[in-house]
Structure 1
Amino acid sequence: MNTDDTIALLSASIDPDTLATLHRRLEAAAHAEGLVDVAYTTVDSPVGPLLLAATPKGLIRVAYAREDHDAVLQKLADTVSPRILRAPQRLDAAARELDEYFAGTRTAFDLDLDRSLSRGFRLLVQQHLPEIAYGRTRSYTEMAEAVGNPKAVRAVGSACATNPLPVVVPCHRVLRTDGSLGGYIGGLDAKATLLALEAAA
């Protein structure tokens, strides 16, 4: 085969079904050989496309489109492992539970979580966030008191703002003392959507 034939072969369009089959084979082979440290997929939701990423320990990242999914994956490659592969089947449980949540049929998540992206006080706050019941809210001040550091209101805000697992770990349920939304990693529209969804249930 000459160079022109090789170029023509490589540049020929591959039909989507063939490409999907090849990707499934790659995914299965990489999984069988233990070559994937971070699996990811994207799912549609009422708050836009969400990137889901997991390690063998559990779900490590949920990211909104406004965070730039490519940038999030690059950060995971830099901080966790460069061995990342789109592997939707590894995230079936997370995708299913999110679908149930957005459909209003799930009020709590039952997923293994990899919390290795957070440390110290931020991790402490994030571990306490699931204590806020579905459909309820707490203020940043109340969260600071709940973790035993009443003066750390700003630090609580920072912990919520850097939560790597939004929606699943419900930082959206933390509001300012006056009841206003405060900030949110997914944007205020997403925060309001999640709170309205939970209030309607």
Structure 2
Amino acid sequence: MSILVSAEDLLARRRIATGALAPLAAGLRAELEPLVARPPEVPTLKAHLSRAGGRCEHDGALLAYDPWDARHHCPMCGCEYAGEAHERFRLYWHQLWLAERVLHAALLGVLLDDRHARALAATLLDAYADQYLRYPNRDNVLGPSRPFFSTYLESIWLLQLVLALDLLEAGAPAGETGELGARVRDRLVAPSAA
């Protein structure tokens, strides 16, 4: 039994995803294609909360986040910003976005029997397993956290990754994930509880 549905129920949903919902599934899969073609790097720095980072100094608006464009600009006045405070705050959005893409890839990989999408999810999960303990557990605002400044944000991020792993283990062909589950549990999930 997986976290959300049994392996049998998950595979039964494949008929729906490739039948009545095929146009939706194809659209979601197309959104993943740039990542499948060039898997992104997992961030190596911790997100950081500061007074200046991620906000316009003129109107206080949150700077726009675009996963494909790392520039920092205000959606209200158009001012563009640079600097470490903005780079480190952007990681907050980017980490959450990337974890969602991992889950997205795992789900579509299983539902569409798409080995390339599953490989993207597995690659990013493996990279996060390698990186997690390298994020420092300091400079936190709300509880202990490694990739973020908040336990709450880390819990949202971690849930996406755990669900992605669960989907891969429940729906990928036997042996495809190898030791991935053990690595993610040992190097990411278990340490996150400490």
- TM-score bin (small chain): under 0.3
Q: Specify the structure having the higher radius of gyration (Cα).
A: 1
Q: Which has the larger share of strand?
A: 1
More relative contact order, 1 or 2 (CA 8 Å, 6+ apart): 2
Structure number with the higher helix fraction is 2
Give the TM-score, by structure 1 length. Answer: 0.24
TM-score (norm 2): 0.25
